[in-house]
Structure 1
Amino acid sequence: MDIKIISWNIRGLGRREKARAIRNLIKERKPNFLLIQETKLGKFSRSVLRSMGCDRSFEFCCTPAEGSAGGLISFWDPNVFDKSLAYITKRIVVLTGKFKGSDIDCGIMNVYGPTNDAEKEVFFQEILDEMNKHKVAWVLGGDFNAIVGMEEKQGLSWNYAAMETFRSFIQKAKLVNLPMSGGAYTWSNNRDPPTHVRLDRFLVDVTFFEGFLNLKQSLLSKAISDHNAIALENNSYKWGRRPFRFYNNMLAEDGFDEMLVGKIKNFQVNSSKEVICNMLEMIKGVVKSWSAKRKHGLRVKSADIEKQINSLELKFQSEQAVVSDRLIDSG
């Protein structure tokens, strides 16, 4: 069974551009499970779900924000995941069930940890207690607001007691802190000089590993939040070619009629096969090319800018890591 779980601290869903960012993420990555933190929404409805580009069949479970802080949403494709139980608190959303094609009982936990170090021990004990209630294969994903070691933070200081609390929780829960490809940090304060931290991650247990091979955790390019989205995937299935679609609004676009008439005339002059299916195949190709250039040009530019930003961040992080190593060695 192929799974694709994405976690993202979006820092507020009230703005239209945030919903658009999630919609683009869903369209590009096609997750069957999405964990969102810091929605900052008191209520959540299917209209919000549609604004994010989720399929109508998607189901969701959420905990509201308190004022303008917090809020969690987990939504999933019921054609992929059969939910059996849901449990929510202020900082976690727990779903148990089975992925289609698998006989393993799974628990998917959406996590948003406290920023106050004094609250972390109680928070992690709450998670541990909830995990012990259910004999399932666990996946925890979200913004833990915690690090396991000094290598996960650049800038400012480290709280060693808080790091030990997080490490102790991971050991007691028998979870694996997965390596992450694509970068070392998931959050930046975007200041000069900046601080980079790995606050977001997926933690899985051994049973989940045994049930889903080829698991990979990766850092996605930063978009509109100061957090990067992260993905947990074991996808190996090829979905095949996408179907061709013709939209009526293309007929109203400047230059489309002239382009299409010119292509048809050129085909009639140069083709030795006056067969309707050959002409239709040619028309499909030119329409797809037109659509790709006109409709997706802005999206491509936006993706290129995001990649450039991500590349610059990775370069800066690498340079800062060298400086930090030198400071540690000299100390």
Structure 2
Amino acid sequence: MKLKMISWNVRGLNDPQKRLVVRNLLRKWKCDIVCLQETKLAGLDRQLVCSIWGCPYMDWVALDANQIAGGVLIMWDRRIIEKLEVLVGLFSVFVQWKGVADGFIWACSGVYGPNDNRLRGALWDEVVFISFGMFLDLPLERGRYTWSSGTDQPFMSRIDRALVSHEWEHHFPDMIQRILPRTVSDHFPILLEAGGMARGKSPFRFENMWLKTDGFVDRVESWWNRHSFSGTPSYVFAKKLKALKDDIIQWNCQEFGNVGRRKKELLGVLEVLDAKEGVLGLTKTEKEERNEARSQVEHLLSLEEISWRQKSRMLCIKEGDNNTKFFHKMANSHRGLNHLSFLEVDGMIYEDGAEVAAQVVQFYKTLYQESEEWRPFVEGLEFDQIEELERGWLEREVRER
């Protein structure tokens, strides 16, 4: 699932012209959820909120500013998420949502801390849920700081953060966090985007979980033996490997199938049977069907753990200890670190996936392209050779004494 969230300290929205600029930027960024801090607005109505974000399916909740300071506004697209619960505190706004497409229930809290040190204690009492270890601070792309003084010798700091829970990261993989260009504030907007990592064609990788399938090794042996090619040994070996890869891919698609999809279907069957048992009871056949579904789910969970362990490259941890969630997090972490969101070449920045790929290909073409017009050759040179007796001595069979 794709999701785009913006968190931005706008430093006041009382100026209609500033609201117009913010509205145009939000339209350009095409976000699903917007959290604005330090709005310095009180008594917001729908007309005023619509002057900030023009989404026709928008809903919102706000914390009024205290005189000319503070204020938090959270807006969202009702086509993506639906509101379940709202809690407005002294320094924060808490909203619980349910995903329209997937039914996933989660919450978001927009917080703006006071500058008065005497109020810091009350702030931490209100946001006590932000405890150490519960939330992740994702790597920040496009920069190291979220605020700059804008002077000739600027002071810079990362005082704006977007924290996510482990469960939320598990549900929304491929999450990236990056700063956007700042225009009307000395704070940079922060973009959280799920599903924002562009993926090209995936290379073939052998899955260790295939080895847990009965008869897989025998299948591989039969596939290997049925292919015949002529040529040099290295050519024959390469062609048989390619043919074997095609056989495995076809078998994986047609027979083995997607583990996650199969697990979801079986869990749905178990849910129906469990519900029926509580109302009408189950027949002997249905009980056997439920036991078989439970056995298959257990097997699929084992395969899933093996797959995620392989992707995480955490081979020092033992399989079978219910570490699937940990392996999943490590694999997502590796994917995030390897993600290339933009590329700078000769002072120009490329962000489009196709342009980034083209520049990478061009770089290696140039790197390995031969530019020399002349190179030395070995034709006509005489080299020392070993005698026939010496060659036989080198090729003799080695035996133990």
TM-score normalized by the length of structure 2 = 0.47
User: Partner residue of 2:168?
Assistant: 208
- Percentage of matched positions with identical amino acids: 29
- 8 A Cα contact 2:63 2:73, kept in partner: yes
Deviation of residue 80 (structure 1)? 0.5
Residues of 1 paired with 2:136 and 2:115: CA distance? Answer: 22
Q: Does 1:19 align with 2:22?
A: no
- 8 A Cα contact 1:170 1:176, kept in partner: no
Q: Does 1:171 align with 2:149?
A: no
User: Partner residue of 1:69?
Assistant: 69
Match for residue 184 of structure 1 among 138, 144, 167: 144
Deviation of residue 49 (structure 1)? 2.2
- Tell me the alpha carbon deviations over residues 138-185 of structure 1, each in whole angstroms, 9 at most, x when there is no partner: xxxxxxxxxxxxxxxxxxxxxxxxxxxxxxx5415x111111001111
Residues of 1 paired with 2:102 and 2:72: CA distance? Answer: 27
Deviation of residue 118 (structure 1)? 5.2
- Tell me the alpha carbon deviations over residues 277-296 of structure 1, each in whole angstroms, 9 at most, x when there is no partner: xxxxxxxxxxxxxxxxxxxx
- 8 A Cα contact 2:181 2:189, kept in partner: yes
Paired residues in the alignment total 199
Match for residue 220 of structure 1 among 169, 180, 184: 180
Match of 1:28, SS state, is helix
User: Partner residue of 1:43?
Assistant: 43
- 8 A Cα contact 1:2 1:237, kept in partner: no
- 8 A Cα contact 1:222 1:229, kept in partner: yes
CA RMSD of aligned residues (A): 2.1
User: Partner residue of 1:263?
Assistant: none
Which structure is larger by alpha-carbon Rg, 1 or 2?
2
Deviation of residue 82 (structure 1)? 1.1
- 8 A Cα contact 2:65 2:71, kept in partner: yes
User: Which structure 2 segments of 5+ residues have no match?
Assistant: 199-347, 349-401
User: Partner residue of 1:193?
Assistant: 153
Deviation of residue 117 (structure 1)? 4.6
Residues of 2 paired with 1:235 and 1:223: CA distance? Answer: 26
TM-score normalized by the length of structure 1 = 0.56
More strand as a share of residues: 1
User: Partner residue of 1:10?
Assistant: 10
Deviation of residue 121 (structure 1)? 4.4
Letter in 1 for 2:12: G
The correspondence of residues 241-252 of structure 1 with structure 2, limited to 5 A, is none
Letter in 2 for 1:103: G
Deviation of residue 39 (structure 1)? 1.1
Residues of 2 paired with 1:107 and 1:88: CA distance? Answer: 13
- 8 A Cα contact 1:13 1:41, kept in partner: yes
Deviation of residue 196 (structure 1)? 0.4
User: Partner residue of 1:229?
Assistant: 189
